[in-house]
Amino acid sequence: MQISTVERTRWLGRHVKRLSQISPAQPSYWVVLIVLVLALAGCGRSAPAPTDTPMPPTDTPVPPTDTPMPPTDTPVPPTDTPVPPTDTPMPPTDTPMPPTDTPMPPTPTPTKKPAPKPIVSIPRGWSPIMNERIGYSLAVPRGWLIFDLQSGQLGQIMGWLGDPDTAAQLQDFLKTPEGQNAGHLAVELNIFAQPPIATLAGVYVLPLSDDISQERVKEWLASAIGSFDMFDINLQTLEIGTTNNLPSIQGVGTSDLSGMGGFNAHIVVTALRANDAAYILLVATRAEAAQSKQPVIDQIIGTFRPE
């Protein structure tokens, strides 16, 4: 059956509309290609018209035949019936490629590594010490005397004990900006010793920025400990490491306090790095008792943390 040009055009119109409805949001260049192929195949040429031109006469009589010959003007079926394309149309080769000079996304700014959380262990029955003003906590064995240096209690006691000069020096220091960073002092008494001190622990907080290296803090700590005016501390070791899950600097030294009516002291200093500060814990005990006191010193250090 012959399909007229009008019918082909309508058929193409319906299919173009259907293809457009299938993917309205997608690029339609492949739809255009299909439509062009179908249009060229079905509508580009019409079927040849039949001819009625008579055959030339011939003198040779043609024997009659009863078999009717098919009419010569039977229309020949059109040879240009549209054939569906066998090859899927390829996308145009001139599809614009993305520009090669597309700016690269900016390199993300490295995020600051989260600060480690301190991990401490407080023995049962120990006395907790919390300083909210400069932000730290620790614990000492039960029975130790605990003084907040900013309260003036220690200066009063020292004055009562007959050492007004040292008490005055302490009060003057605590009034300075540096003195405001001094925290608690805890003392273990030994009534049979002279002076009656077995062990003491004190805290000082040094504000500093995170970009200061541990090596630089180590140098400062060594210089500060070595420049005490009241007595000399001889550092034996000072090492960078980790304490209570925080970056730390720990050192061990000795000091001869006998000239001040004291004793030879074994000193352990621990500086924890956190919150843009160095939290410094100094623990001192009598040199002759250092070995037996070391487990208690380690436990005190194990309770120390910034808050």
Q: What is the pLDDT of residues 292-301, one digit of tens each?
A: 999 999 999 9
How confident is residue 78, by pLDDT bands cut at 50, 70 and 90? Answer: low
Q: pLDDT tens for residues 43-64?
A: 333 333 344 444 445 454 545 5
User: Which residue type occupies 84?
Assistant: P
pLDDT of residue 108: 65
Flag whether pLDDT at 90 surpasses 70: no
In terms of Cβ atoms closer than 10 Å to its own Cβ (0-12, 13-18, 19+), residue 298 is exposed
Cα–Cα dist 137/28, whole Å: 71
pLDDT of residue 157: 79
8 Å CB contact between 220 and 253: no
Cα–Cα dist 291/217, whole Å: 28
Q: Which residue has the higher pLDDT, 152 or 71?
A: 152
Element (H, E) at 146: strand 145-148
Cα–Cα dist 301/56, whole Å: 128
How confident is residue 227, by pLDDT bands cut at 50, 70 and 90? Answer: confident
How confident is residue 121, by pLDDT bands cut at 50, 70 and 90? Answer: very high
Flag whether pLDDT at 15 surpasses 70: no
How confident is residue 224, by pLDDT bands cut at 50, 70 and 90? Answer: confident
pLDDT of residue 83: 53
Share of the chain above pLDDT 70, in %: 61
Whole-prediction pTM: 0.62
- Report which listed range, 16-25, 34-43, 129-138, is most confident: 129-138
Flag whether pLDDT at 28 surpasses 90: no
pLDDT of residue 228: 64
- The whole-number average pLDDT for the span 143-157 is 88
Handedness of CA 222, 225, 231, 236 (dihedral sign): negative
Mean pLDDT of the chain: 75
DSSP per-residue codes, 233-249: -EEEEEEEEEETTEEEE
